[in-house]
């Protein structure tokens, strides 16, 4: 593919907006594309790929560019050093200073770098990871986080089983295979546009990372139960829970954001589920939460977190997060878990989960909760999954990483209230 000067200009302009880090990269790019509607599909794809590519390797590229690390130079350096683009692939119209810089960057030595720079992580995050991982493990994890994520689907068992979905997609020329862990997961080769595919429109599948799917199997809701998805967001896991309940019982989707919950409504309509009840709450201590105290069979807490396990999809998070923001999050996580636990009836199950890699958001929150709540006891995540035919050697708590499992980074602990 030939790269044009106009594409470089558009990518560097979009990157300049993203690097302010005022808003998430995906929303900045959406706004950029709305402002520049004349960009074709190929140009948009290049801009998005370049922006995310630079975000993933920002420290390396800045070091290579030195003092000349303008967004234009960063995009050119990404092409030269990360993508392996050749000078011949740069189309006509480039100035000599661009091609000179491109050629120079191709051969420039990186020199000696520290662990954080080698991993393309901020110093504070490399230090946190180094507290429980060796330097080699930090690098391996970082390299896996710096690769784009594959596209996973989740079959809706109310409409179609996983193998039938695979067969139908293959018949449509979409290369795919069954997932490695989740019995409902399908992994695609490449990233075809699926928003208008008939099987998406009729609710036969949803886009959902395979690691995220496993949280539903850890909660393991049964027919006819009362279940709460405590931090439902746009409802990806809510839909899975409703399907596992075979569209029976009552499933509450709680969230503090009316806008996020609003995105659940069309997804519910496609899915064929009628047991989901979205509820906007003011906080974890909302009176509507308190009224359900001690009445719920199973509660999922997919807590607000740093999102550092999703860096393959959201590489800007590593530059937007900070130790100060992390401290605020851990306070909120502890409060949400304590409040959600009050809903669980004796003998009921509570699953605490995040898409973070850091122990202070994960193991430390669960340990503090158990120390303060003798009514709850941990249950082996490995055994819960094994009883459903899912084999992961994870022990008591589930820890997924892209390096080890090729999923997003997830943590989950299964807790049960003593009968």
Q: Please say whether the beta carbons of 403 and 141 come within 8 A.
A: yes
* 176, 231, 305, 355: the active-site residue: 355
Percent helix, percent strand, percent coil in the chain, to nearest 5 = 50, 15, 35
* Cα–Cα separations (whole angstroms), residue 283 to 258, 332, 342, 382: 12, 10, 14, 32
DSSP 79: I
Reply yes or no on whether 355 is catalytic.
Answer: yes
* Cα–Cα separations (whole angstroms), residue 209 to 80, 121, 157: 31, 23, 16
Q: Using CB atoms within 10 A of its CB, is residue 361 exposed (0-12), middle (13-18) or buried (19+)?
A: buried
Closest CA to 379 of 227, 220, 180: 220
Q: Please say whether the beta carbons of 264 and 276 come within 8 A.
A: yes
Q: At which residue do the structure tokens 């000078």 appear?
A: 87
319 three-state secondary structure: helix
Closest CA to 302 of 218, 182, 196: 218
- Angle, CA 144 vertex, CA 116 and CA 357 arms, to 5°: 70
Closest CA to 342 of 315, 369, 382: 369
Q: Please say whether the beta carbons of 237 and 271 come within 8 A.
A: no
Closest CA to 120 of 297, 317, 254: 317
d(CA 101, CA 87): 11
**Helical ranges in 220-256 per DSSP H:** 236-244
Q: CA 105: distance to chain centroid?
A: 32
Q: For 269-304, what is the HEC assignment?
A: HHHCCCCEEEEECCCCCCHHHHCCCCCEEEEEEECC
Which residues are designated catalytic? 355
């Amino acid at each position: 593919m030939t790269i044009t000067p106009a594409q470089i200009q558009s990518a560097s302009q979009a990157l300049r907006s993203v690097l302010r880090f005022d808003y998430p990269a995906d929303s900045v790019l959406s706004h950029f594309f709305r402002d520049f509607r004349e960009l074709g599909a190929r140009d948009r794809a290049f801009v998005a790929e370049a922006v995310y590519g630079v975000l993933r390797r920002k420290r390396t590229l800045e070091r290579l560019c030195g003092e000349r690390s303008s967004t234009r130079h960063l995009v050119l350096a990404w092409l030269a050093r990360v993508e392996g683009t050749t000078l011949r692939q740069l189309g006509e119209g480039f100035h000599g200073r661009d091609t000179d810089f491109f050629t120079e960057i191709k051969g420039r030595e990186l020199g000696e770098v520290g662990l954080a720079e080698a991993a393309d992580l901020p110093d504070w995050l490399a230090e946190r990871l180094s507290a429980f991982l060796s330097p080699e493990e930090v690098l391996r994890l970082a390299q896996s986080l710096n690769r784009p994520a594959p596209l996973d689907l989740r079959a809706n068992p109310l409409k179609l089983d996983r193998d039938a979905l695979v067969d139908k997609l293959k018949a449509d020329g979409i290369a795919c295979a069954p997932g490695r862990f989740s019995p409902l997961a399908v992994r695609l080769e490449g990233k075809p546009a699926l928003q208008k595919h008939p099987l998406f429109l009729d609710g036969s599948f949803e886009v959902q990372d395979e690691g995220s799917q496993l949280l539903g199997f850890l909660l393991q809701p049964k027919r006819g139960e009362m279940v709460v998805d405590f931090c439902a967001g746009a409802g990806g896991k809510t839909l899975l829970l409703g399907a596992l309940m075979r569209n029976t019982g009552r499933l509450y989707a709680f969230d503090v954001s009316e806008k996020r919950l609003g995105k659940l409504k069309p997804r519910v309509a496609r899915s064929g589920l009628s047991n989901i009840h979205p509820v906007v709450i003011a906080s974890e201590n909302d009176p509507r939460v308190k009224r359900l105290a001690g009445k719920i069979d199973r509660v999922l807490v997919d807590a607000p977190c740093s999102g550092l396990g999703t860096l393959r999809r959201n590489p800007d998070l590593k530059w937007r997060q900070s130790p100060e923001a992390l401290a605020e999050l851990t306070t909120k996580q502890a409060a949400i878990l304590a409040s959600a636990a009050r809903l669980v009836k004796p003998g009921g199950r509570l699953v605490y989960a995040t898409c973070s890699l850091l122990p202070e958001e994960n193991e430390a929150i669960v340990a503090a909760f158990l120390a303060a709540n003798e009514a709850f006891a941990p249950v082996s995540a490995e055994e819960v999954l094994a009883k459903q035919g899912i084999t992961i050697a994870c022990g008591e708590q589930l820890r997924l990483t892209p390096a080890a499992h090729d999923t997003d980074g997830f943590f989950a602990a299964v807790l049960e209230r003593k009968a």
